[in-house]
Structure 1
Amino acid sequence: MSTAEKVDILLLGAGGREHAMLRKLAESPRAGKLWAAPGNGGILAEAELAEGLDQNDPAAVAEFAKTHGIGLVVIGPEAPLVAGVGDAVRAAGIACFGPSGDAAQMEGSKLFAKQVMERAGVPTARYKSFTEQGPAEDYVRELAGPCVVKADGLAAGKGVIVAQTTDEALAGVRECFAGQFGAAGNTVVVEEMLKGPECSLLALTDGKTVIPLASSQDHKRALEGDLGPNTGGMGVYSPVPFVTPEEHEAMVEVERKVVAQLAADGITYSGCLYGGFMLTKNGPKVLEFNARFGDPETQVVLPRMKADLVDVFMRCDNGTLDGADVSWDDDWAVSVVLTSAGYPGSYEKGKEVTGIEEAEKLEGVTVYHAGTAMVDGKLVTNGGRVLNVTAVAGSFEGAREQAYKACELIDFEGKTLRHDIGARALRGRSAWEL
């Protein structure tokens, strides 16, 4: 395929991650017609809706791609990956960005990922897995302190209980086995709690070559000061200022080893491998792997990335990633998530959103839609995480300031946000030392 040839693209997903991917894909000279399913209020202003298409139905996605002349299917969320959508698309002879169903078990099963890490010899938290409640509770009591309880399967980011006490951990085990997370909790992984600042490192791979992207740090807790319940992410910045070159190389080496181990196991991992790390006193250790771009990490990584994303994604699929041209600008990016009141618990939808155009007039500001929809010609809230307000600037402080200025210009009933995104990082590594 010549570099000048246009490629029609189908993007699966409905969040801020997908809106950021769509914007970056659209910049490519190779981007043809853009389709999306199910999309959101922002995505569907820039791409055509693949009406009625179920993103989690492998056969339906492959058939749509065939009948509409799609040259590249880009899978944003984890559920279609684990369901094998990538396999069906590739079987139809169409390029796909996103790992196979087997490879996506790196996210689809915590136990699978832990076993791969063990074979690859990469540093991670000590753990045991359980299919019965009693032995899991016994192990929690044996640990006698802080630990992490994880539902093995996909639980929309909610199947992880970071327990500071034995009682909290026991409650987490009971939640899993009581069906709180559905079939995802049929197997439970209990692991030691690691200490230090967290860092995300996403990497692109075709199963052989691994290209690390820029580091980033998400803010998972709902409330300021990193308090309150876990969420899908309340804000993020990139790069992480206190990561040393040695730590960065150690994280990249972990991802190389995991991709190589999967290949040795007969699984070609093609797409984005998301490594969640804890920067411990003994070096980076893996907290988890995800099988796709992070959300909201994508919203600060892609704006800083200098690359033709269509070309890079096609290379991930066809095994030529070693020829990709990927570099980074020297700017900083900060993204603040605006949420509906009540998130991550229950919240109302349908609140009119205003001020986005004014916010995007600020230098370096882009607003990515997450939980929005167009109803009767008006943009309204349609989810817990509504918008990702991203600013890129020459300094960390400048990016934070612009992001929060933009947040002030946007309004909807119940608008909620954290005002301390990135503040801890400005204080340096000591902010995480107990």
Structure 2
Amino acid sequence: MPMKRRNFLQATAAAGVMGLPGVRAAHAQTAPIRIGVILPLSGIGAEAGAAWLAGAKIGVAQWNEKGGVLKRQIELVARDDKFSSAGAVTAARDLAGSGINLLIGGSQSPMALATAPLLPELKAVMVAPCPTVMTLTHEGFQRNFFRLSWNAYIAFAGIGNMLTARFKEVETWSCIVPDSENGRDMARYFTVGVQRAAAKAGRQVKVLDPVFASLNKADYKVEINSLMNAPSQGLFVGLTAAPCISLLQQGRAVGMDKKFKVIGDAGTELMIAKAMQKSTPANLWSISYWVPGTDVGKRNALSTPLYDAYVKLTNDKSPPSIVQSSHRCALALFNAIQKAGGTETDAVITALEGLDFDTAVGRYHIRKEDHQGLGTAYIANVGVRDADPGYGIIDAIPYNEAEVAEPPSPGKPLEL
């Protein structure tokens, strides 16, 4: 038999053997577990997307080093949602079409709102690192979607309460938030927190009507002018990532950082300080997922390994806290797959419901009823300091999210 023909027949025979059920099953049990990651990897969300991707990569590397999950290595398959709802939908369909049913995505509210309703059709499950809009775990509840971050009530009522209690000289607050459902949630629950703290102290504190802003613009002069003319001493900024930084940088040029005695931030924290360096506003307090390097942060066994791995991966010694939120999402999926004994969608959903697992900020719990994750969060004072690189987290106040979370009501609007 000529050599070429013999090689062809041998290859064909091997392919036929691989097609047998027993061989396919064996191959499936040893092939890598593929997890899709849908993040903003270009455009105005690219810096945040890079941080989220780093957190997920570190989680994969840490588990692969220990042997993977169910003795299988883990492989990330990343797609760019381009910081848009349409981009997130396209990415989710693309990943599902290639057979990937385990997803980390819906990183922020618009993308989560667009992709969550599609998951049953795609036969996929998604764990989301940062969306806050309340409908996701209330009237818009989807069994295939899990929010592994604070929601608007937990986060913004929390920071409103803390800042009002701490800064008694602030009698009036301004808010600037995205012109979206999520932005309205931010303003509503920040106001709830302010009023709750004021009532407890027997004070009168006012929150002005919010200033709404687009996330897809470069010039915030009109919004800054409105804030500068407001009779307020405190400011809450609900814009996140690049839009938040642009607002604060442009505002500094007209003295906005001097007008307000305290500025609250919806989670951009160290990215602000990294961009503004020595011009970072004084008394900047941010909601934070993770505070490595602080005494509070060092209490958790997984915190330092995550920090060290991030520095090694990026050569950046000041990780934004959202690194921990995507790392946590990865750990949730790995623990759920292990618990389920496989990667089948319904089994992983069941395993995620009520799951308790360790993270870089301590023990984390996923409520079975509404798929809301609960753990430890922080209000962190971010600013200039003498230690290298010249900025960082100066102080951090931890709080237990379970103690401030609203009761579960999947399928129903939140009623306070």
TM-score bin, normalised by smaller chain = 0.3 to 0.5
In terms of fraction of residues, the more strand-rich structure is 1
Q: How does the TM-score come out when normalised to structure 1? A: 0.35
In terms of fraction of residues, the more helix-rich structure is 2
Larger Rg computed on CA atoms: 2
